Amino acid sequence: MSEMNVPEVFGSNVFNEKVMKERLPKETYKALKQTIEKGLPLRPEVAAIVANAMKDWALERGATHYTHWFQPLTGSTAEKHDSFISPTDDGGVIMEFSGKQLIQGEPDASSFPSGGLRATFEARGYTAWDATSPAFLKEDASGDVTLCIPTAFCSYNGEALDKKTPLLRSMKAVSDQALRVLRAMGDTTATRVISTVGPEQEYFLVDLEYYQERLDLIACGRTLFGAPGPKGQELEDQYFGPIKDRVADYMKDLDLELWKMGISSKTKHNEVAPAQYEMAPVFSTTNISADHNQLVMETMQKVALRHDMFCLLHEKPYAGINGSGKHNNWSLSTDTGLNLLEPGHTPHDNAQFLVFICALLKAVDTHADIMRATCASSGNDHRLGANEAPPAIISVFLGDELADIFIKIAAGQKNTAKEKAFVKIGVDTLPDLPKDNTDRNRTSPFAFTGNKFEFRMVGSSQSVSGPNVALNTIVAEALDQIARRLEKAKDVNKEIVALIKDTMKDHGRIIFNGNNYSEEWAKEAKKRGLPNVRNSVDALKAFVTPKAMELFSKYGVLSKEELHSRYDIYVEQYSKHINIEAQTAIQMVKRQYLPAVMRYMEELGSSAAASGEYGEVQKAILAEVGALLKSAYKNLKTLEAATKEAQGIWNVEKQAKSYRDKVFTACTALRGDIDALEALLPRDIWPVPVYSDLLFKL
């Protein structure tokens, strides 16, 4: 086995700090650092030198092309490769890359969704370098190397057409407001507050051969049919189980590719469902994390193909076993290195910690609908609101100890010698909060895990940008309101006690430490007035309420128009996905399942005829199969009609509702018949690989 020198490999394809220091003149390096750290504009002469150094570095590594790499509203990434060549008078070429080419690009944007923000005749869109996320090289298996510049993507008028622009804006918003709170509490050293994210990525692997025989996996990323096999996940033998050689090989290759791009892949393990796995990186600044997570998803799929496997990122590839999510670990830290969601060691740090927890409670309770909306997709509907992790009701898990502190302070209880949990703000330190994993509530959609919050609703295939744009912005608003109180206060510590009391009174209902899967919780949540939105079409509306418009425009994150465009695009995406599923189901039933069923019936018929008095059994089976065939055919016709009807609706919202209420339900009914038939038909007649092939033959 060849040895891998990890420290040498790590970041070898990144134009990182180390490379910049080596290759840039001191002054240029300093100027670029100012841009990266303080957000100062990059001067053209600096950009020119950086571009040239970047090009030389990329050429030495075999790159011929560069691309402005961006994240359109499709949720995936986009890249148009331009070569560095520039023709010379004598018929040759030189390799060139200018400062302007580094800073800005003008891709034809007409084929990206804009939700009405940009008319097709104004095809131009602009990409602008996000200097805070380092440039990197992407390598193909063929050896092709491309220099990738992480960019934001805007319309001619500066409206955001992508997922990165609002994310950067939201990071600024939360930084500004958090700083005010810190200042009001006497912190004079921090100059920036950074939102950090560590997204844990779940995925499934399937053998490529089986994958290729399943049109539903190819077209929809999930199985639309499939009877449960004899074994699912009930033995609980997969989670953290030993990793099979073939998968371990894949993971090793994946790590290598990620490390080269400076992605700190840290943890890998088997997940709960068979053939399900997880990768978690070390957390990073939110925009870098979001970029990296896109690369993680892309690389997972690329590397899988090299191993004759396919990587499924869909939220629900298989019925009856766990789906996949993305645990979005989120926190705030100062540029002086203080994690604001970590209980401190001094009374002052603890007061600060409690204030930020107040902000979180207030933010999440006020805007639970927005948080839910950021995780809405047809794929994620199979998790949220479908008796799976986590439920569609947003609540916050604080843990008993921390919740207790809030309850006691809010109740104004007096400190007794025994009750360590009571804290006198500004005087006491907090009791140690348990940080171990064992007693953590795994059922909560938004859980405090000792020094960060873990938002677990995020779908496995989605970009983490949306959820973090929301988190940053709603917390910015809460911090803004808190800052106003603290700035005016004569006695800050007294004001914090009052703040905790008010927060518990107004937003305490959002705290829930119990079992989020239980029926009682659904009932209790209803009593508390917490929303429980079980499908995307309803959930997405939260983007266009007056409350959302005011919030996002106030903090300069998304304008009214930008919100509307997103709403339209996401609702349309929902319809498109269900439409593809319906068309796939129709094709599979007509061209694969029904012909197979009829062949079997023919076999049964002739066998019955040839078997004389012993033909009764065949006839009985024939009757059973025939009844299901009839039902399947009827449900197929219903699905065809429903799909046609939905396709003809022009209003995006009405159309999405039609896909949800008629098409999706018709698909489900059809699946019932086909899955029942699968259980009756001989394996050699069944035309596609079955669940036990897909899940257990890796």
Q: Which residue number, 192 or 564, has a Cβ lying nearer to ligand ADP?
A: 192
CB 278, min distance to Mg ion, A: 9
Report the half-sphere exposure of 485 (CA within 13 A, side-chain side).
19
CB 200, min distance to Mg ion, A: 5
CB 337, min distance to ligand ADP, A: 11
Report helix, strand or coil for 93.
Answer: strand
CB 94, min distance to ligand ADP, A: 44
Range 417-450 burial, b when 16+ CB lie within 10 A, else e: eeeebbbebbeeebbebeeeeeebbebbbbbbbb
What is the spatial distance between Cα 75 and Cα 375, in angstroms, rounded to a whole number? 12
Burial class (CB in 10 A: 0-12, 13-18, 19+), 613: exposed
Count residues near Mg ion (CB under 5 A). Answer: 1
Specify the amino acid at residue 186: G
- 138 binds Mg ion per the rule CB under 5 A: no
Q: Which residue number is nearest to ligand ADP in terms of Cβ?
A: 198
Stretch that binds ligand ADP, among 46-54, 279-287, 416-424, 485-493 (CB under 6 A): 279-287
What is the spatial distance between Cα 161 and Cα 74, in angstroms, rounded to a whole number? 10
Count residues near ligand ADP (CB under 6 A). Answer: 15
Q: Which residue number, 265 or 535, has a Cβ lying nearer to Mg ion?
A: 265
Work out whether strand 193-207 and strand 276-281 pair parallel, antiparallel, or are unpaired.
Answer: antiparallel
CB 280, min distance to Mg ion, A: 7
Q: Which residue number, 402 or 569, has a Cβ lying nearer to ligand ADP?
A: 402
Q: Which of residues 324-343 bind ligand ADP (CB under 6 A)?
A: 329-331, 339
Closest CA to 109 of 148, 165, 76, 70: 70
Query: Helix, strand, coil shares of the chain as percentages rounded to 5?
Result: 50, 15, 35
For ligand ADP, the binding residue among 138, 260, 383, 452 (CB under 6 A) is 452
- 437 binds ligand ADP per the rule CB under 6 A: yes
Q: Which residue number, 193 or 280, has a Cβ lying nearer to ligand ADP?
A: 280
Q: Which residue number, 282 or 411, has a Cβ lying nearer to ligand ADP?
A: 282
Q: Which partner, ligand ADP, Mg ion, none, binds residue 12 by CB below 5 to 8 Å per kind?
A: none
Site string for ligand ADP, 280-299 (x = CB under 6 A): xxxx----------------
CB 279, min distance to Mg ion, A: 12
- 327 binds Mg ion per the rule CB under 5 A: yes
- 383 binds Mg ion per the rule CB under 5 A: no
Burial class (CB in 10 A: 0-12, 13-18, 19+), 454: buried
Tokens of 228: 């449960």
Q: Which residue number, 84 or 283, has a Cβ lying nearer to ligand ADP?
A: 283
CB 198, min distance to Mg ion, A: 9
CB 345, min distance to ligand ADP, A: 17
Beta-carbon contacts of residue 485 (< 8 Å; ≥ 6 apart): 495, 499
Q: Which partner, Mg ion, ligand ADP, none, binds residue 196 by CB below 5 to 8 Å per kind?
A: ligand ADP
CB 463, min distance to ligand ADP, A: 17
What is the spatial distance between Cα 166 and Cα 318, in angstroms, rounded to a whole number? 34
Q: Which residue number, 143 or 337, has a Cβ lying nearer to ligand ADP?
A: 337
Stretch that binds ligand ADP, among 278-286, 305-313, 350-358, 628-636 (CB under 6 A): 278-286
Q: Which partner, Mg ion, ligand ADP, none, binds residue 281 by CB below 5 to 8 Å per kind?
A: ligand ADP
Q: Which residue number, 55 or 327, has a Cβ lying nearer to Mg ion?
A: 327
- 451 binds ligand ADP per the rule CB under 6 A: yes
Q: Which residue number, 146 or 170, has a Cβ lying nearer to ligand ADP?
A: 170
Q: Which residue number, 35 or 513, has a Cβ lying nearer to Mg ion?
A: 513
Q: Which residue number, 292 or 327, has a Cβ lying nearer to Mg ion?
A: 327
CB 292, min distance to ligand ADP, A: 11
What is the spatial distance between Cα 283 and Cα 289, in angstroms, rounded to a whole number? 7
Tokens of 116: 């009405």
Q: Which of residues 135-154 bind ligand ADP (CB under 6 A)?
A: none
Q: Which residue number, 338 or 670, has a Cβ lying nearer to ligand ADP?
A: 338
DSSP 54: H
Closest CA to 629 of 664, 681, 584, 579: 681
Q: Which partner, ligand ADP, Mg ion, none, binds residue 274 by CB below 5 to 8 Å per kind?
A: none
Tokens of 306: 């090299």
Q: Which partner, ligand ADP, Mg ion, none, binds residue 197 by CB below 5 to 8 Å per kind?
A: ligand ADP
Burial class (CB in 10 A: 0-12, 13-18, 19+), 282: exposed
Site string for ligand ADP, 383-412 (x = CB under 6 A): ------------------------------
CB 380, min distance to Mg ion, A: 17
CB 327, min distance to Mg ion, A: 4
CB 428, min distance to ligand ADP, A: 24
Provide DSSP, 426-488.
TTPPPPPPP--STT--TT-SEEE-SSSEEE---BTTS-SHHHHHHHHHHHHHHHHHHHHHHHH
CB 445, min distance to Mg ion, A: 12
Specify the DSSP element, H or E, that contains 66: strand 63-69
The residue with tokens 């040895």 is 3
Q: How many C-beta neighbours within 10 Å does residue 125 have?
A: 24
Closest CA to 332 of 196, 233, 204: 196
Q: How many C-beta neighbours within 10 Å does residue 667 have?
A: 23
What is the spatial distance between Cα 145 and Cα 260, in angstroms, rounded to a whole number? 13
Report helix, strand or coil for 195.
Answer: strand
What is the spatial distance between Cα 388 and Cα 136, in angstroms, rounded to a whole number? 38
Q: Which of residues 185-224 bind ligand ADP (CB under 6 A)?
A: 196-198, 200
Q: Which residue number is nearest to Mg ion in terms of Cβ?
A: 327
CB 435, min distance to Mg ion, A: 13
Report helix, strand or coil for 332.
Answer: strand
Q: Which partner, Mg ion, ligand ADP, none, binds residue 610 by CB below 5 to 8 Å per kind?
A: none
Provide DSSP, 343-400.
--SSHHHHHHHHHHHHHHHHHHHHTHHHHHHTT--TTGGGTTTTTSSSPSB--EE--H
Site string for Mg ion, 280-319 (x = CB under 5 A): ----------------------------------------
Binding-site ranges for ligand ADP (CB under 6 A): 196-198, 200, 280-283, 329-331, 339, 437, 451-452
Binding-site ranges for Mg ion (CB under 5 A): 327
